[in-house]
Amino acid sequence: MEMNNINVVDQVHDPTKSPSGLRILWKEIVRDKLALVSLIFLIVISLSVFTISLVLDQDEIVKVDLFAINEPPSEEFILGTDYGGRDVFGQLIIGTRNTMLIGIAVTLMSGIFGVAFGLIAGYFGGHIDNALMRVLDFFQILPFTMLVIVFVAIVPKYTIFSFALIFAAFSWMGIARLIRSKALQEKELEYIKASQTLGTSHPKIIFREMMPNISSLIIVTMTLNLANNIGIESGLSFLGFGFPETTPSLGTLLSYAMNPQTLEHRWWIWAPAAVMILVLMLAVRNVGEALRRATDARQRRG
């Protein structure tokens, strides 16, 4: 029954056309209440975090104030202050912004490289595929978390950009493998053969013809990766190998809980950050799961 509804909507545009990829993705999100709520939540959270952080002054927030150490929530400080007398609410807002931005940046960097890698391996197949897959196999057996930590520790002139680069360098393998197996199937299809016969150049076939056709898979995988990357970034910052301490992040706020006094008696410092990380990850994942269902016609609800 529900399938009919889609067709009715689409017949308005063109009776012979099946619904477009983006339209199916959107339908699925609207149909899945949890995903819709998550999406609205994400939009509201990003809008408020970005507008509030425009007003907030980061230098003011990270300035140590020894007269206001570890204050519980009050009217002046909505979420109290940390061991350096810094406003926790301000750190939470800026931290959420930073965590989201670095998550998106890393997901895009590893995604772009992984997609290109997977497409090239899958499209050419044969020896090229073989060689590229051995490289990928090697990266995949490496102890990811530890290598990122070691590289963060030994990189001279450590900046947030080098962090994103190290992180992305070790996290492109999953998406590359997935895209490669999809590309292997896709290149057998007639439209690719036709283009090759017509003499279209390889890069053009790969990126202008093949990539748009698997774009929904790319969107889905990147969304699910974003949820993971937010978690991994927070974990690394929690251990002290992510954002430098002068830049607030959710993981850094959480790491103050490593002090037993803070963990036991000052929940306002670490608990909001913990909830924020968890809710962000769940929300992004809910949206991603709805998108994943949308790409598989058998699982679709919409």
Partner 1 sequence: MKFMWKFIVRRIIITFPQLILLSVLLFLMAQAMPGDALTGLIDPNVPEEVKEQRREELGLNDPWHVRYVDWVSGIVKGDLGQSFRFKMPVTEVVTDRVINSFWLSLVTLVFTYLIAVPLGMLSGRYNNTLLDSAITTYTYIGFATPIFIFALVMVWVFGYNLGWFPTSGSVAPGLEPGTMEYYLSKFYHLLLPALSMALIQTVSTVQYLRSEIIDTKQKDFIITARAKGASESRVYNRHIFRNSILPIAAFFGYEITTLITGSIFVERIFAYPGMGQLFIESVLLRDFSVVNAVVLLFGIAMILGALLSDIILSIVDPRIRIK
* Site residues, partner 1 (CB under 8 A): 137-138, 141-147, 149-150, 153-154, 227, 231, 234-235, 238-241, 254, 257-258, 260, 263-264, 270, 274, 277-278, 281-282, 285
| DSSP state, residue 77 | S
Q: What is the closest distance, in whole angstroms, from the C-beta atom of residue 16 to partner 1 in the complex?
A: 38
Identity of the residue, 41 or 144, whose beta carbon is nearer to partner 1 in the bound complex? 144
Identity of the residue, 128 or 258, whose beta carbon is nearer to partner 1 in the bound complex? 258
Q: What is the closest distance, in whole angstroms, from the C-beta atom of residue 296 to partner 1 in the complex?
A: 15
Q: In whole angstroms, what is the distance from residue 121 CA to residue 44 CA?
A: 40
Q: What is the closest distance, in whole angstroms, from the C-beta atom of residue 286 to partner 1 in the complex?
A: 9
Identity of the residue, 175 or 257, whose beta carbon is nearer to partner 1 in the bound complex? 257
Identity of the residue, 238 or 268, whose beta carbon is nearer to partner 1 in the bound complex? 238
Contact 254, 162 (CB under 8 A): no
Q: What is the closest distance, in whole angstroms, from the C-beta atom of residue 79 to partner 1 in the complex?
A: 17
Contact 295, 302 (CB under 8 A): no
The continuous run of DSSP H or E covering 152 comes out as helix 144-154
Contact 93, 52 (CB under 8 A): yes
Burial class, 279, CB count within 10 angstroms (exposed 0-12 / middle 13-18 / buried 19+): middle
233 phi and psi, to 5 degrees?
A: -60, -45
Q: What is the closest distance, in whole angstroms, from the C-beta atom of residue 113 to partner 1 in the complex?
A: 19
Identity of the residue, 8 or 154, whose beta carbon is nearer to partner 1 in the bound complex? 154
Tell me the two tokens of residue 197.
Answer: 């016969």
Contact 187, 125 (CB under 8 A): yes
Q: What is the closest distance, in whole angstroms, from the C-beta atom of residue 279 to partner 1 in the complex?
A: 10
Q: What is the closest distance, in whole angstroms, from the C-beta atom of residue 272 to partner 1 in the complex?
A: 12
Identity of the residue, 79 or 284, whose beta carbon is nearer to partner 1 in the bound complex? 284
Question: How many other CB atoms sit within 10 Å of the CB of residue 68?
Answer: 17
At how many degrees (to 10) do helices 88-124 and 173-186 cross?
40
Q: In whole angstroms, what is the distance from residue 279 CA to residue 227 CA?
A: 10
The sign of the CA dihedral 23, 173, 224, 150 is: negative
Q: In whole angstroms, what is the distance from residue 229 CA to residue 225 CA?
A: 6
Identity of the residue, 72 or 203, whose beta carbon is nearer to partner 1 in the bound complex? 72
Q: What is the closest distance, in whole angstroms, from the C-beta atom of residue 252 to partner 1 in the complex?
A: 13
Identity of the residue, 53 or 229, whose beta carbon is nearer to partner 1 in the bound complex? 229
